[in-house]
Structures are given as structure tokens and as C-alpha cells.
Amino acid sequence: MIEETAETNQTLLCSDCFTDEGLRIDAFKLGIEEHLKCPNCHSQEGRKLTKELIEALAWRFFVGGTTVRCDYGAAPVIQCNEHHFGRSDISPSIWLKDDIRLLEEAAQLGFFHYGPRLWMIGEVEPLKDLQDESKRLQIIKRVMKEYPVKTLVMGEKFYRLRICPQRPADPAEYDSPPIALAGKGRLDSPGFPIMYGSQDIDVCIHECRASTDDDIYVATLEPKRNLRLLDLTHLLEEDVTEFESLDMAIHMLFLARSHSYEISRAIALAAKEAGFDGIIYPSFFSLIRTGGHPFETTYGMSLRRYHPEREKYAEAYTIQNFALFGRPLENDLVSIKCINRLILTQVGYIGHFGPVEY
């Protein structure tokens, strides 16, 4: 055991070992500050990397860094693992060639072109049925039945943000847009306005695409009675593969861009019909806010479904948004507790690098 710990703590490389600038910066961010000579390049300043850190670096740069989004889902072009050690088949830029050799030798892994399992790029039956107008209703009926009700308790606060409202101190400014303007968002339709809110102010800022130039106001609201919401952030227990998973279908639907809106709008209308006051749905910005990676897998299996602590895993990477139906302030469903001006002093981007060709 002691030997093993010594081995895993051993420095194998450092950030100065690499030629690729992005890889060097990522390595610096991950590495340990330690002013000893690197066993490979002898630099004292480079941040030191153990085998475990090298694996994390390789994954972040080559797997995270080559992930492409599809209409629904996303998948990496490159994968790496120990089974492909000595059998790498990628063709990187010249400046990456030596870096890759270093990573392969130190972590005993190989890089290869990954043919994703098709569910990762949206080949999920319930999702395909949702896109098919003749089958959509059938799946929506399942959604109404299989997802749980969650209560937004009277007095539990949440936020709603407005950019440049005409009369910032007027509570009416923070209701849903007027009926005539409804139908542009993820869940509202013509004639069916929706109030979007969240308990996470940072998500409100993302959702509104607010920038430092904007005059921003945030209202703190609370329900005047318990509200019955359909909770679409709930992780469904299912006995099927990813290909047949309703959970995966809904998860992918809310991480998709505006081409998916006609489906989410149909779900909102059905929930309204079914007597709900609104929907809790996963924010499109969940991943940005939590630093998660979309549709993460080990050996092609979804971590959302097979992670040993899948509920905690899903929760950690999901930000909940509220969509309350109609005009809740006008309808006396919620009230304004407070309005503040919000000044953005810093907008942070945290990222990492990936290769340009492979």
C-alpha cells in the first residue's frame, strides 16, 4: 500500500514539458506547485504532474477539447484509455506530436478516434418520437405521468431579472411579458406567456444574456400560495438502456438550442392543461454554471445513468429554473418582496483548451 501511494504521488512530468501552448496552460492550472526539478525536462518552475493528473489533463484536453454538440446530445471525437496504449491513431498538429508521446508514456494510455454510441448524439427513441409530430403527444402523456410534482412552497423566494425595464421600481415590470409578446422563449407560446425565474441569480444573468453594459434589475419574488410544479429536473428510475430512456430524452431536450423549442412549448401547454402552475426544468446553462461536461461517459455508458451516486451526480450538474404559467403577478399567484439594481463588475470565463486537428 505504502509503495503504491509513493508511486501515485510521484512527479512524472510538469507543465514546462509541453510545446502546445494550450496544453501547457491547462497543465499549469492542473499541476502542483513544487520547486523541484522535473524528472523529464528539469524545469523547477513548471507545475508538477502525477500519473493521475496526467490522465485528467489528457481527458480534459483531448476528450473535453474535441467534444462537438449535435442538434441533440454531444460527443467527443477523440477518446483515450489504457487499452489503446501503444496504438494511438490520431493525427495531431506537428507541435503536439512530442507532447502526445510524453502523455502516452507517462500515463500508459493511447488516443483514438471515437465512434460515439449513437444515443450520445440524440438516437434516443422517446426523443425521436418527440420530434415526430404524430408521436409527440404519446410521449408528452408519459412525461405528465412519470415526472413528479414538486411544490414551490408559499414564501420560498426566487429571482427574476430584467434588462433595462422602463420603470425599474414598478412591480408590474417583473411579470411575464404581455400576452402579445409571448411565444419567443423555450416554454412560452403565442397567447401563453410565462414567467421565467430561478433561485440562482447567476443563472438568471446567463439566461438573460446580460452583459456589463446593461442596466440590470433583479426582483425577489415569492409565491402567495403553494405552487404545484411539474419537476422535469427529476432523475427518472428506469429499467431501459440509454436508447430508450425518457430521462435522457428530456435531459437532452433542455440542453438543446432553439430548434427544440416547439417540443418544450408543447410540454408546457400540456402541463398547463393538466392543472400545474408551472414547470421546473434544467437550465440550458447548467453545464456552464457547474463546470460539467455534457453527456459524460465511461466506456460509452452514461454517467447520468450508471454513476454509483447518480442522483448526487445529476443534482451537482443541474441548475433548476422555474417557468410559471400565465402572468403570475397579475394573477396574484406571486408577490414582489424586493427589487434591486444589479451591477456586474466582473464577468468570468473559465475554460480549457483542445487540439485544432486530430
Query: Which residue is listed with cell 442538434?
Result: 71
Residue (22 or 292) nearer to Zn ion, CB: 22
Q: How far is the CB of 36 from Zn ion (least distance, A)?
A: 11
- Identity of the residue numbered 5: T
Which span sits near Zn ion by CB under 5 A: 30-38, 119-127, 168-176, 205-213?
30-38
Q: How far is the CB of 49 from Zn ion (least distance, A)?
A: 8
Q: How far is the CB of 104 from Zn ion (least distance, A)?
A: 16
Q: How far is the CB of 39 from Zn ion (least distance, A)?
A: 8
Q: How far is the CB of 17 from Zn ion (least distance, A)?
A: 4
Rule CB under 5 A: is residue 23 a binding residue for Zn ion?
Answer: no
Q: How far is the CB of 99 from Zn ion (least distance, A)?
A: 11
Q: Nine-digit cell at 108?
A: 500508459
Cβ-contact 153, 188 below 8 angstroms = no
Going by C-alpha positions, the residue among 14, 29, 102, 13 that lies closest to residue 352 is: 29
Rounded Cα gap, residues 70 and 195, in angstroms:
29
Cβ-contact 219, 159 below 8 angstroms = yes
Which span sits near Zn ion by CB under 5 A: 7-15, 83-91, 126-134, 210-218?
7-15
Rounded Cα gap, residues 79 and 81, in angstroms:
7
Tell me the backbone φ, ψ of residue 283, rounded to 5 degrees.
-65, 140
Q: How far is the CB of 58 from Zn ion (least distance, A)?
A: 16
Which span sits near Zn ion by CB under 5 A: 14-22, 23-31, 55-63, 214-222?
14-22
Residue (48 or 305) nearer to Zn ion, CB: 48
Number of residues in contact with Zn ion under rule CB under 5 A: 8
Q: How far is the CB of 310 from Zn ion (least distance, A)?
A: 38
Give the CB-nearest residue to Zn ion: 38
Among 12, 23, 27, 38, binds Zn ion (CB under 5 A): 38
Q: Nine-digit cell at 218?
A: 433583479
Going by C-alpha positions, the residue among 122, 67, 60, 126 that lies closest to residue 294 is: 67
Q: How far is the CB of 103 from Zn ion (least distance, A)?
A: 12
Rounded Cα gap, residues 23 and 46, in angstroms:
13
Residue (40 or 199) nearer to Zn ion, CB: 40
Q: Pairing relation of β-strands 227-231 and 278-282? A: parallel
Among 22, 29, 30, 41, binds Zn ion (CB under 5 A): 41
Among 12, 14, 143, 227, binds Zn ion (CB under 5 A): 14
Rule CB under 5 A: is residue 54 a binding residue for Zn ion?
Answer: no
Which span sits near Zn ion by CB under 5 A: 36-44, 153-161, 168-176, 343-351?
36-44
Q: What is the 3-class SS of 15-43, one letter each residue?
A: HHHCCCHHHHHHHHHHCECCCCCCCCCCC
User: Bridge-partner residues for 230, per DSSP?
Assistant: 149, 279
Q: What is the chain's length?
A: 358
Rule CB under 5 A: is residue 40 a binding residue for Zn ion?
Answer: yes
Binding mask 119-138 for Zn ion (x = CB under 5 A): --------------------
Region of 323 (left: φ > 0; alpha: ψ -120 to 50; beta: rest) is beta
> Within a 10 A sphere around the Cβ of 285, how many other Cβ atoms?
20
For Zn ion, the binding residues (CB under 5 A) are 14, 16-17, 38, 40-41, 43, 46
